[in-house]
Amino acid sequence: MNTGKTMFAQVMEFLPWKAFDRIVIRYEGNKRVRSLPCSEQFRILAFAQLTYRESLRDIEVCIAAQGNKLYHMGLRQPVARSTLAGANESRDWRIYAEFAQRLIAQARELYADDSFGVELDNTVYALDSTTIDLCLSVFPWANFRKTKAAVKLHTLLDLRGNIPTFIHISDGKLHDVNAIDFLTIEAGSYYVMDRGYLDFDRLYTLHTARAFFVTRAKSNTKFQRIYSAAVDRNAGVICDQRVVLTGHGAADNYPEKMRRIRFKDPKSGKTLVFLTNDFNSSSLTICALYKSRWQVELFFKWIKQHLRIKRFYGISENAVKTQVWIAVSVYVIIAIIKKRLNLKPSLYTLLQILSVSIFEKIPIQQGCDLANYSSENDFNANQPDLFEF
C-alpha cells in the first residue's frame, strides 16, 4: 500500500485533511494567498518539528535540498523563509488550534481504555503550567517581569495516554489558578492539581459542577475537624478527616465539608496534606491520584526536549501560538499512529526514527521494526519518588 510513499507522506495521510480544509474556510485562512496555502504551511512546520529544524533559514535550506521530493511532501515548490515568516505572522493561529483539538479527540478515543496506574473508571486530568522564557526586547507582548518575557502553556493532561486535552497559551504574568476559568468542567471527572491552584472559590465551582478535585493544602490553611475515619498508619496515612474551612473568607468561598488526608511517605519521610471532595475513594487512592499528577511534569519535560517550542520561527504572538499548536498536533498524530499501527517503540523512539528516515520510501511499520528498539514509557522513565518536588 505504501510503495513509493515516503514516511513523511505516510504520517501526513493520518491527518483528517477534509476537516482541516473546513477549518481553513471558516477562518478564511487562504484568502488572497498565492503561493503558500495553510495546508502547505502546516506540512512545512510539521516537517520542521519532525526533523528538529531550528530556524526559518534552516527550514528553507533543508526543503530546497530535497527539491525532487517536494511533490511527495505535498508541496508545490521550495519555500522562501520570507514567505513562511509572512504566513506565520498572518494566518490565524486558531486554525491550527482547532485542528489540534480534532486530533486530540481522535487520540483520546484510542487511549480511552489505557491504564495510568490507578484503578478508576472516571477520567482523570492533571492540570499544570510550564513557562518558556523569552527575550523581552524581541517578544515585548509576552509580559512576565521587568527584564524578562515569557509565555505559559496551561495544560490539562488526560492521564490515559498522556494526551493534552486543553492548552491555553498566555503571557508569563497570568497566574496558574486562572486557567481553571477557561476549562469546560466534566461531571464525574477528577482534576488533580498542585497547591498553586488552591483557590477555594474555584474549587467550589468544580464541586458544584459535580467534578472531583485533588490538591494540596497550604501550611496556613485553617480547618475545623468534624469527623476522623480510621486509617492504616503502616501504609503512611496519618489521618483521614472531614473538615470545614475556618479561614477568613475561605468558609464563604467553600461552605461545604471537605476531606483532608495527611500522608507521610515511608521512603522520603515527607508529610503532605491533601484536600479533596471525594468522600468515597480510599485514602490511598487519593494519594495515588496526586502522585499521578507528576505525569504532566514529565509531559512538559518531554515536549521541551523533543519538540521545537523553546526557539520560535517568528516573534509575533500569532507566530508563537501557530508553532506551539502545530507542535502539539505532531505530538498527537505520532501518538495516534503508534496506537493505530500497534507500534512497540516509544514516542521518543518514533520521533528519532522519523527524524532520520523521513524521506525513506518504506512502510512506517517496517522502519520501526528495522530500528529494533524495545518499547518504553517515556513519561515513567526516571520518575522520582512520590513527593520529590
Cα distances (Å, whole numbers) of residue 380 to 112, 116, 172, 196, 292: 19, 10, 28, 23, 10
pLDDT at 358 over 90: no
CB 158 within 8 A of CB 173: no
Share the mean pLDDT of the chain: 89
pLDDT category of residue 244 using cuts at 50, 70 and 90: very high
Q: Provide mean pLDDT across the span 213-229.
A: 92
Smallest CA-to-CA distance from 218 within 254, 189, 175, 247 is with 247
According to DSSP, residue 186 is labeled P
Query: At residue 37, what are phi and psi to the nearest 5 degrees?
Result: -65, 170
Q: What is the pLDDT of residues 135-185, one digit of tens each?
A: 999 999 999 988 899 999 999 999 998 999 999 999 999 999 999 999 999
Specify the residue for cell string 531550528. Answer: 54
CB 50 within 8 A of CB 8: yes
For the CA atoms of the chain, what is the radius of gyration?
A: 23
User: Is 153 in a helix, a strand, or coil?
Assistant: strand
Residue 261's pLDDT is what?
Answer: 95
Residue 267's pLDDT is what?
Answer: 80
User: Is 79 in a helix, a strand, or coil?
Assistant: coil
b (16+ CB within 10 A) / e for 285-299: ebbbbbbbbbbbbbb
H or E element, residue 351: helix 347-357
Cα dihedral 101, 105, 106, 110 in deg (nearest 10): 140
Residue 388's pLDDT is what?
Answer: 45
The model carries a pTM of 0.88
Smallest CA-to-CA distance from 300 within 327, 274, 322 is with 327
CB 191 within 8 A of CB 143: no
Q: What is the pLDDT of residues 72-112, one digit of tens each?
A: 777 878 889 999 999 999 999 999 999 999 999 999 999 98
Q: Provide mean pLDDT across the span 24-42.
A: 92
Residue 205's pLDDT is what?
Answer: 96
Please calculate the CA angle 100-350-41 and round it to the nearest 5 degrees. 40
Residue 194's pLDDT is what?
Answer: 94
Sequence-separated contacts (24+) of 283-288 with Cβ below 8 Å: 283/229, 283/231, 283/237, 283/240, 284/235, 284/237, 285/118, 285/119, 285/120, 286/214, 286/259, 286/261, 287/236, 287/237, 287/261, 287/263, 287/386, 288/117, 288/118
According to DSSP, residue 243 is labeled E
Cα distances (Å, whole numbers) of residue 116 to 103, 212, 250, 251, 362: 21, 17, 33, 34, 33
Q: Provide mean pLDDT across the span 3-12.
A: 84
Q: Provide mean pLDDT across the span 205-216.
A: 96
pLDDT at 373 over 50: no
CB 211 within 8 A of CB 185: yes
Neighbour tally for 64: CB within 10 Å: 13
User: Is 222 in a helix, a strand, or coil?
Assistant: coil
